[in-house]
Amino acid sequence: MTSPFALCILAIVTLSLLGLPIGHAMIASSILYLLLAGQDMSIAAEQLLNGMYTNYVILAVPLFILAAELMNIGSMTERLLLFCNALVGRFRGGLAHVNVVQSLIFAGMSGSAIADAAGTGRMMQAMMTKDGKYPASFAAALTAATAVVGPIIPPSIPMVLYALVSDASIGFLFLAGVVPGVLMAGVQMGIVGLTARRRDFPVEPPIPLRELPCITWRAFPALMMPVVLLGGIYGGATTPTEAAALAAAYALLISAWLYRSVSLRDAYGSLAYSARTTASIGMLIAGALVFNYVVTVENIPESIKILLSGWNLSPIGFLLLVNGILLVLGCMLEGTAILLIVVPVFIPTAKALGIDMVHFGVVVVVNIMLGLITPPYGLLLFIMNTITGVPLRDIVRDCMPFLAAMIAALALITFWPGLSLWLPRLMGYQG
């Protein structure tokens, strides 16, 4: 490590801590590095522009954001909640189970946990706390915890970003997330069941069975989203990148045409929101691309590989180390930043240890997602705090059982690669 590099890291940390957007902090600090190392400063622009221009698969990110937005403007969320209620409302802690199932289904339509919590959090909170049915802090914590499943089940923006840094196939990453995602939801339902009995949560009046077909039919187009998506990829119609556009088109079609609930103004609003979000994630990607040049030219991933090989870690030992590091970082850093800056550093070592890149991707993404509900920095906690006004401390407290259970699920996903790889292998993945 050279002194320009040390100063570059110092600059990134200082500028980010002082509140400069992380993308700008990385670009500015990389310029500082080039200046101090006596290199051509235009390399920063070169890396940013060529990196953005040549990474075609990354275009899935804006399109998945758009798809999630278009889903949210329709009346789809309400229909889904009705459907979930018909399905699991009749059990003890019915609405809490509804919250879990809603997120599981939403996960199949959207690639982002933030979109789930921000899109359905308000409605879920109102339903659960009406007439004092559930404590507000439990409801808020549950919505935050259940949203975690969003990007583990396809589609998934974090998996697209992981594919960008690892060259793993997006198609197989998506398939690999399905079983772990369902497992996480199952674990959440287990915790809900235990808590419901202990705290004597209410039961929802059962929906008559004869109404079920109608309710299902009304939610059916939304339920079909994952089928359309994976069908598009595996049926030969689209590449994974194009599948993101297909998802957005499908969302627009059912919201506008079938549910007739979208005005032009709504459509403009979702495009505008998606474009703004795209710009702000894009800046982070741009900053990471520039900073990646600095890290590469300094041979950092190679040095880490050599350092770690000195420890003679087994693959499992290495995975545990990565889990530990990512969970700790998740308490402090934004998930996209961890994926783009920290994860690439581990990839050469993971490859050298013979760890399957698709399995590694699932482990990494689950870690990043858990980081969204670990304090002090947990974006989902902040969102629920802002939406509901419940103090952060109370949300965190009620979130802990879910966090603990999901860390147990993470351990299972880590130790048992077959859990992730079973479905991809079924579809022809050789790994």
> Whole-angstrom Cα distance, residue 359 to residue 354?
11
> Whole-angstrom Cα distance, residue 132 to residue 139?
11
> Whole-angstrom Cα distance, residue 368 to residue 177?
14
Residue 153 partner contact from other proteins, Na ion, none using kind-dependent CB cut-offs of 5 to 8 Å: Na ion
Taking residue 159's Cβ as centre, other Cβ atoms within 10 Å add up to 30
The nearer residue to other proteins, 323 or 367, going by C-beta atoms, is: 367
Residues 353-382 touching other proteins, rule: CB under 8 A, are 368-369, 372, 376-377, 379, 382
The nearer residue to other proteins, 87 or 152, going by C-beta atoms, is: 152
Residue 22 interacts with Na ion (CB under 5 A): yes or no: no
Residues 292-331 touching other proteins, rule: CB under 8 A, are 292-293, 296-297
Tokens describing residue 183: 């497992």
Determine which residue in the list 26, 66, 76, 322 makes contact with other proteins, applying CB under 8 A. 66
The nearer residue to other proteins, 78 or 242, going by C-beta atoms, is: 242
Residue 421 interacts with other proteins (CB under 8 A): yes or no: no
φ, ψ at 423 (rounded to 5°): -65, -45
Residue 53, SS3?
Answer: helix
> Whole-angstrom Cα distance, residue 51 to residue 54?
6
**Angle separating helix axes 417-426 and 357-370, nearest 10 degrees:** 120
Give whole-number Cα distances, 22 to 18, 67, 343, in Å: 10, 26, 16
Stretch touching Na ion by CB under 5 A, among 138-146, 314-322, 360-368, 377-385: 138-146
CB 185 within 8 A of CB 108: no
Q: Which residues, including other chains, have CB under 8 Å from residue 419's CB and lie 6 or more apart?
A: 179, 180, 183, 412, 413
Q: Which amino acid, 289? A: L
Q: Which residues, including other chains, have CB under 8 Å from residue 405's CB and lie 6 or more apart?
A: 187, 188, 190, 191
The nearer residue to other proteins, 84 or 157, going by C-beta atoms, is: 157
Stretch touching Na ion by CB under 5 A, among 145-153, 189-197, 258-266, 338-346: 145-153
Residue 188 interacts with Na ion (CB under 5 A): yes or no: no
Residues 97-126 touching Na ion, rule: CB under 5 A, are 99, 102-103, 107, 111
Q: Which helix (H) or strand (E) holds 257?
A: none
Minimum gap (Å) between residue 66 Cβ and other proteins: 6
Residues 173-232 touching other proteins, rule: CB under 8 A, are none
Residue 5 interacts with other proteins (CB under 8 A): yes or no: no
Residues 106-145 touching other proteins, rule: CB under 8 A, are 111-114, 118
Residues 251-290 touching other proteins, rule: CB under 8 A, are 268, 271-272, 274-286
The nearer residue to other proteins, 215 or 325, going by C-beta atoms, is: 325
The nearer residue to other proteins, 53 or 311, going by C-beta atoms, is: 53
DSSP class of residue 151 equals T
Q: State the residue for tokens 């351990």.
A: 411
Residue 89 partner contact from Na ion, other proteins, none using kind-dependent CB cut-offs of 5 to 8 Å: none
The nearer residue to Na ion, 137 or 146, going by C-beta atoms, is: 146
List residues near Na ion by CB under 5 A.
99, 102-103, 107, 111, 143, 146, 150, 153, 155-156
